[in-house]
């Protein structure tokens, strides 16, 4: 029986069946036959499959987005029952750099990060270096994520790194970047810790960092 619920949760998510996934989540809440943690683990497993389907080009952005939305709603039902509460894997600060108003990619990353169990502080788009530094100061995140789609604004990333150094915060936070304008090489020269070619890779990287 308990296995059935977990299977339903996973398969509904992978079939993009919002109703089915929510019904399974409600069952977990009401019947208490399976531990909430197990259900959360099932969601997380399903999301890994979603991620690899997307990375392999089997799934497209709409599917990635909708699976993310289903996971978000399911987690909305499950996380209040978890002992650690939502965001137990640690805090991440995320924003799109100054001058850049692209936010689709950033929002997908944030949604997946939340569903994976991270607490995310979303600074929005067009975020200047000062605001990134202040947010790191105030929230002590273990990771800082920056999105950048324009080559004309990639210098902002370098600026944030420099300002974090000046504020004595660079050693306290790991930095991950993503977005159409960026590459692995850029990440190296900019002095950040990781570049993610897509949101799912990004989640894997920060999960690794958090030890989760």
Partner 1 sequence: MDFRERILAAMNHEEADRVPVMGLIMDPTTVNLVLEKKPVDFAGLLKRPVWGLLIRYLMNTNWFWRRMYYGNFAGSLKSAIKLGFDANWTIYSLMKLNREPESALGWAWHDPFGRVWELGRAPDGSMAVNYTRGLCETEEQWEAWVEQKKPVYEALIKNVRVFHKKLVEKYGERIYPIGYAAPGIFENSWQPMGFVNFTKMIYQKPDFVKRIVDFQTDLYMKYLDAVMESGVEVVLGGDDLGQKTGPLMRPELIEKLYGNSYRMVADRVHEKNKKFVFHSCGNIYQLLDKFVDWGFDGIITMEPTAGMDLGKVREQVGHKLVLVGNLDVSYLMVRGTREEVDDAVKKAIKDAGRGGGYILSTCHSHPFVDPKRLEWMIDSAHKYGKYPLSV
Distance CA 121, CA 106 (A): 12
Q: With binding defined as CB under 6 A, does residue 109 bind ligand B12?
A: yes
Q: Residues 6 or more apart from 5 whose CB is under 8 A from it?
A: 24, 27, 28, 31, 33, 34, 39
Q: With binding defined as CB under 8 A, does residue 61 bind partner 1?
A: yes
Among 38, 45, 103, 204, binds partner 1 (CB under 8 A): 103
- Paired residues of 122 in beta bridges: 94
Among 24, 120, 181, 187, binds partner 1 (CB under 8 A): 181
Between 164 and 181, whose beta carbon lies closer to partner 1? 181
Among 31, 35, 52, 60, binds partner 1 (CB under 8 A): 60
- Which among ligand B12, partner 1, none contacts residue 106 (Cβ within 5 to 8 A by kind)? ligand B12
What is the nearest approach in angstroms of ligand B12 to the Cβ of residue 48? 14
Q: How many CB atoms lie within 10 A of CB 151?
A: 11
Q: With binding defined as CB under 8 A, does residue 49 bind partner 1?
A: no
Tokens for 56, please give them: 């392999």
- Which among partner 1, ligand B12, none contacts residue 204 (Cβ within 5 to 8 A by kind)? none
Q: With binding defined as CB under 6 A, does residue 176 bind ligand B12?
A: yes
Contact of 165 with 152, CB cutoff 8 Å: no
What is the nearest approach in angstroms of ligand B12 to the Cβ of residue 205? 7
- 86: nearest Cα among 51, 122, 114, 112: 114
Among 11, 16, 121, 155, binds partner 1 (CB under 8 A): 16
Between 38 and 73, whose beta carbon lies closer to partner 1? 73
Distance CA 179, CA 154 (A): 10
Q: Which residues of 103-123 are buried (b: 16+ CB within 10 A; e: fewer)?
A: bebbbbbbbbbbbbbbbbbbb
Binding site for partner 1 (CB under 8 A): 16, 18, 57, 59-63, 65-66, 69, 101, 103-104, 107, 111, 125-126, 150-152, 180-181, 197-198
């Amino acid at each position: 029986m308990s296995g059935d619920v977990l299977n339903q949760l996973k398969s509904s998510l992978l079939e993009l069946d919002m109703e089915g996934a929510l019904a399974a989540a409600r069952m977990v809440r009401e019947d208490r036959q399976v531990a909430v943690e197990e259900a959360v683990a099932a969601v997380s497993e399903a999301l890994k499959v979603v991620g690899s389907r997307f990375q392999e080009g089997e799934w497209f952005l709409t599917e990635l987005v909708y699976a993310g939305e289903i996971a978000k709603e399911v987690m909305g039902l499950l996380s209040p029952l978890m002992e650690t509460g939502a965001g137990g894997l640690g805090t991440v600060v995320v924003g799109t750099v100054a001058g850049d108003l692209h936010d689709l990619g950033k929002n997908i990353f944030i949604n997946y990060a939340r569903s994976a169990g991270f607490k995310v502080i979303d600074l929005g788009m067009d975020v200047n270096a000062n605001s990134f530094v202040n947010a790191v100061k105030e929230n002590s995140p273990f990771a800082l994520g920056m999105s950048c789609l324009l080559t004309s604004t990639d210098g902002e990333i370098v600026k944030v790194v420099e300002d974090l150094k000046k504020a004595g915060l660079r050693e306290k936070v790991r930095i991950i970047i993503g977005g159409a304008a960026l590459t692995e090489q850029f990440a190296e020269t900019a002095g950040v810790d990781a570049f993610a070619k897509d949101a799912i890779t990004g989640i894997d990287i920060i999960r690794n960092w958090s030890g989760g």
